[in-house]
Amino acid sequence: MPLPLRKGEFQQDFDVIILQMLLNIEGSPARRLKPDGHFGDGTLEAVIKFQKALSPPVPLETLGIVDERTWRELQAKVGSPRIALTFDDGPHASLTAPLLDGLDWWGAKATFFVVGEMAGRHPQILKRVADSGHEVGNHSWDHTGYCRPSFADIDAVIEDVRRAHEAIVAVVGQAKAPRVMRPPYGWVDTFREDRIQHIAGLDYAVVGWDVDPRDWESPAKAIYDYVLLNTKPGVNILLHDIQKNTMVAMLGNFGGASLPGVASVGALRVLCTVYELVTVSQLAGVGKTYSKGGLTSRACPALAPSSPSN
């Protein structure tokens, strides 16, 4: 590379961001986010800590200098840990296809939690999702939360899941039928989760999330920063392929909007440089047992007139 990192210096470039993420995985707190949105000054100390632990250790005169050996040793130590990107509420008429282009370019796989009603509106886009090797999940028929009075009867929940399932299968085929389910807003109590997992013939696993940048209300740069600062091996990240700001954050530029400076590469490129991006079922290792994030058994909230889209 090499990247000199000395006290008092700060380099805001793509390689330094990658370095900070690798060090953070290794266990050295290399990333701090300043109020101005820039990465902070923990990197030098983390580099020196890593270099001192090498065998043989890095010579004193080169401590804090990221030479080829340091970079190679760090990459070898970390390997390619896995994470999962998940996208809810689509497919979208104009946003999902560019996202698929980006995922295909970087060889990344994702899970798309599809709303049944949207499957009928945009069947060709959904078919491309499935044909590209991404996982298709069930996200209800029309995104009405299961804690609402209309779903007080568990049979109504089951019928909603089944209706969405049938709409999705009509497009992607039985061989690619969804086997994972994310309830709208993550609202489902333990009893309903158990029943959803055992709908006759469907056998869904209910999936929550670990990292939520609240992309439905956040600007693109805030989404980018939050995802990079909170991602670690094994997490599944909640995003929405119906939000333009999410496309800008992930792709770097989209629809005439772009991220500033080094962030213009987009979060997707950064994540794919450090991690292997897989589906939630691949992340779990067993497709029918994945329940992640602690949200699939949370209590129903007091209902407001309107709620965020998850």
| pLDDT the model gives residue 4 | 56
CA distance 126 to 176: 11
CATH architecture of 3-78: Orthogonal Bundle (1.10)
Q: Which of 13, 88, 101, 215 is catalytic?
A: 88
Residue found under tokens 């909007």 = 257
pLDDT tens-digit readout, 260-272: 887 888 999 999 9
What's the full length of the chain, in residues? 310
pLDDT at 297 over 50: no
Q: How would residue 306 be classed by pLDDT, with cut points 50, 70 and 90?
A: very low
Name the CA dihedral angle for 189, 215, 274, 74, rounded to a multiple of 10 degrees: -90
Least confident stretch, 171-175, 181-185, 243-247: 181-185
The whole model's pTM is what?
A: 0.87
Q: How would residue 201 be classed by pLDDT, with cut points 50, 70 and 90?
A: low
| pLDDT the model gives residue 307 | 46
Q: Are 100 and 106 in contact (CB under 8 A)?
A: no
Which residues are 266's β-sheet partners? Answer: none
For residues 105-116, give the mean pLDDT: 97
Domain ranges for the chain, please list them: 3-78, 80-310
Q: Which of 139, 143, 165, 240 is catalytic?
A: 240
Q: What single-letter amino acid sits at 99?
A: L
pLDDT at 303 over 80: no
Per the annotation, the verdict on 134 as an active-site residue is no
Per the annotation, the verdict on 240 as an active-site residue is yes
Q: Tell me yes or no: is domain 80-310 CATH 3.20.20.370.
A: yes
Q: For the chain, what is the mean pLDDT?
A: 83
Q: Are 84 and 280 in contact (CB under 8 A)?
A: yes
* CA atoms 100, 101, 103, 104: torsion sign: positive
Q: How would residue 150 be classed by pLDDT, with cut points 50, 70 and 90?
A: confident
pLDDT tens-digit readout, 37-95: 455 567 888 888 999 999 998 888 888 888 888 888 998 999 889 999 999 999 999 99
Beta strand 253-254 pairing with 236-240: unpaired
Residue 5 C-beta-side C-alpha neighbours within 13 Å: 30
